[in-house]
Structures are given as C-alpha cells and as structure tokens.
C-alpha cells in the first residue's frame, strides 16, 4: 500500500471502470428510474422477487454461456427444461419414486439430451444449430407424449423448498444460483478445462494443435448445457408446482439473449458467466420494473426489445463509431458478428 497509493487508486478505478460495463450501467439506471416511478420497487421484498424470477433464467443461461464460449449454440434448452420437469413430475405422480430420486432421473434425462447434442455435433461435425434444433423438436415431442399434453399437478411439494425455501434469511434460489455461479466462474478462470473452453472458442484449429481434446471437450460442454437446462427445469417445476411440456418454450432464445446482452460474444472465446449474470439481472430487473410501474403488458414487449438493443450497443459499440455511421461514413473493416 505504502508509496503505491496512486497506482492502487488507478488500478481500483480501472477495476470499477471494467465493472461498470454497459449492462451494469443500464441496470443501475433502471433501478434509479423504477425506484422514482414506483413506490414498491426499491424494497427488500421486491429484490427477493426479482431474484426468484431471475434464478431459472440464470441457471439455463450459465449452461448456454459455455456453449457460446465454444462458438456454438444450444437451441434445445427450452424444450429440455420442459422434458425434465415433465419426467420429474410424472415419476413423482407414479408414487414409486421419492421426489429427490425423481428429480435426479429428470436431471439424467436432461444430461442425456445434452450428451446426444454434443456427440452428434462433435463426432459427426454437424453445425450445432441442427442437432440442437432437432433435439428441441424431439424433447418437446417426448414431453408432450409422456404428459399426453396435459398439465401435471398434484404431486408432493417436496421440491418446492428449492424455490420458496430460505436459509439463514436468504432465499434458496439465490443461494443455489450464487453457489453454481462461483463454481463455474472459478472453473472457467482457474482450471485448464476452463482455459481450454476459451481456447477452442477462440481458435479451434490452434486448440487442437496444442493438444486439447476438442471433440471430448465439446461433447462435455453440450452435456453440461443439457444438465443445466435440467437444473433450471427442476427449479421451474418447484416454482410453478405444475409441469407442462410447452411452458418453458422460449427459454432457448431468452437464454441466448441474456448471454449475448451480458457481453459474451457469439463468435466464441470471449465472455464468461459473470457477464451472463449481468445480462440475466438486466432482463429480470427490466421485466419486474415494467410490471411494478404498471406498464401495459403489450407495451412491455416493446420496451424489452428496445432495452436489449440499447444494452448491446452500450456494451459493444464505440459511441464515436456509432455517430459516424449515423452520419453515413463508410463502415470500417470489421466483421459482421455472427
């Protein structure tokens, strides 16, 4: 500390600077705005509400983050979430499975879906859109078939503690998300496997040449994404206390949006779960705030779209370049991001 005060300060400022990325600034701005416009928004109970609402999206988006870091995409997660909750609910209803065992079976199903995605993608070399989109159809179909298109209810409420429970005064979903977040963050930063994820996403050929077992790694990541969709599906089941195949459709695009708005690049190799957490918080705060302020349900959709664009622009576009474009100067040579 001694003698290095200025340096320390500069470092601290730059750290704050990097922390204050586009999404975080927008979240802070929204909190300010919504607090002024609505009385109930800035309160502990509403914060808990937002966390409960965001937890499912956070979990599925964590898995999606890994896939996108590999420059891949997983379109199956929404359907896999539905399948997981339907399998779990159906097994609980059968009466022969303890709820925890049923949940484990659901998770195994989800991981199996992910494993299939990963194997078809990495072993056969198909563009990940195709196997994961095919899996979307098959998982949704399987869920519809086993539930016979009904809403499953009336099973024991054992799992509800995951969503409604509290531990040392903190909501259970917060603890669940925080624990998984820390694990994944450390995994990406501090283990060779985490580094390999970035390496493959940055340059697959180079990663292969430097001895990373790319196919195995990819398969593992898609399996993990399926598994996380499963965890999110269980939490969704715990929240709604009912299971329906189509309830979670839409999470595939929501999760991709959360990941990308947070600042993880679809081109691969750049980003992380911390960024995803910011993206999820942004979407959840926005949805909750619009509700609290009493914006018309239909107009909310318009606002969500606008803020998503704004958040991405604030994060990734140099304002000067933005204005230059508006004035119609020719584009700089830079790839149109995939």
Partner 1 sequence: MTLPTRALYRVAAVAAILAVVWIFVPRFGTESNLINLLRQAFLLALVSTGVSLSMLVAGLDLSIGAVAALSSCLAATLIVQGYVGPGILAGLAIGALAGMLNGIMIAKLRLPFFIMTFSMMFIIRGLALTYTQGTSIHGFPRSFTWLGKSFLGPIPMPVVVGAVVLGLLHILLTKTTFGRITYAVGANAEAARFSGLAADRNLIQAYALSGVLASLSGLIYIARLNAADADLGMMWPLEGIAVAVIGGIAFSGGVGNILGLILGGIVMAVVGNCVNLLGLPARFQDFFIGFVIILVVLIDHVTQKRGKAVK
What residues line the site for partner 1 (CB under 8 A)?
120, 124-127, 129-131, 133-142, 144-145, 148-149, 253, 256-257, 260-261, 266, 296-306, 308-309, 312-313, 317, 322, 325, 331, 333-338
To the nearest whole angstrom, how small is the minimum distance from the Cβ of residue 214 to partner 1? Answer: 16
What does each C-alpha distance from 41 to 82, 97, 300 come to in angstroms?
A: 31, 41, 16
Nearer to partner 1, 121 or 217 (CB): 121
Nearer to partner 1, 17 or 125 (CB): 125
To the nearest whole angstrom, how small is the minimum distance from the Cβ of residue 220 to partner 1? Answer: 20
d(CA 84, CA 63): 15
Q: What DSSP letter does each residue of 28-52 carry, written as one string?
A: HHHHHHHHHH-TTTSSHHHHHHHHH
- Cβ-proximal residues to 288 (8 Å cutoff; 6+ apart), any chain: 41, 46, 49, 50, 53
Nearer to partner 1, 103 or 144 (CB): 144
Nearer to partner 1, 72 or 171 (CB): 72
Nearer to partner 1, 178 or 246 (CB): 246
To the nearest whole angstrom, how small is the minimum distance from the Cβ of residue 305 to partner 1? Answer: 3
To the nearest whole angstrom, how small is the minimum distance from the Cβ of residue 329 to partner 1? Answer: 10
To the nearest whole angstrom, how small is the minimum distance from the Cβ of residue 234 to partner 1? Answer: 22
User: Any alpha helices (H) in the chain, and if so which ranges?
Assistant: 5-19, 22-37, 44-69, 77-94, 99-124, 129-147, 161-164, 172-190, 192-202, 204-209, 214-240, 251-262, 273-293, 297-316, 319-326
């Amino acid at each position: 500390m001694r003698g290095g005060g200025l340096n320390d300060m500069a470092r601290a400022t730059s750290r704050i600077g990097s922390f204050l990325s586009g999404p975080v600034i927008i979240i802070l701005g929204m909190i300010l705005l919504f607090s002024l416009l609505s009385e109930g928004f800035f309160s502990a109970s509403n914060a808990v509400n937002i966390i409960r609402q965001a937890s499912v999206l956070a979990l599925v988006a964590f898995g999606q983050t890994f896939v996108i870091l590999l420059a891949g995409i997983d379109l199956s997660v929404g359907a896999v979430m539905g399948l997981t909750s339907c399998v779990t609910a159906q097994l609980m209803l059968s009466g022969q499975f303890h709820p925890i065992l049923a949940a484990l079976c659901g998770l195994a199903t989800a991981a199996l879906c992910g494993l299939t995605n990963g194997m078809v993608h990495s072993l056969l070399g198909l563009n990940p859109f195709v196997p994961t989109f095919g899996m979307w159809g098959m998982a949704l179909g399987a869920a519809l078939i086993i539930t016979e298109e009904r809403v499953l209810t009336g099973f024991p409420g054992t799992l509800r503690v995951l969503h409604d429970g509290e531990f040392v005064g903190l909501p259970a979903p917060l603890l669940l998300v925080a624990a998984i977040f820390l694990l994944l963050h450390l995994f990406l930063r501090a283990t060779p496997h985490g580094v390999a994820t970035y390496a493959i996403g940055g340059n697959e050929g180079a990663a292969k040449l430097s001895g990373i077992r790319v196919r195995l790694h990819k398969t593992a990541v898609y399996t993990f994404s399926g598994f996380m969709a499963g965890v999110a599906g269980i939490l969704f089941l715990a929240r709604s206390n009912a299971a329906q195949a189509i309830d979670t459709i839409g999470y595939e695009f929501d999760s991709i949006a959360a990941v990308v708005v947070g600042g993880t690049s679809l081109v691969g190799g750049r980003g992380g779960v911390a960024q995803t957490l910011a993206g999820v918080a942004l979407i959840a705060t926005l949805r909750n705030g619009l509700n609290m302020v009493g914006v018309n349900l239909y107009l909310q959709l318009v606002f969500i779209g606008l803020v998503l664009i704004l958040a991405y622009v604030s994060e990734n576009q140099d304002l000067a370049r933005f204005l230059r474009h508006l004035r119609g100067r020719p584009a700089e040579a830079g790839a149109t991001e995939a």
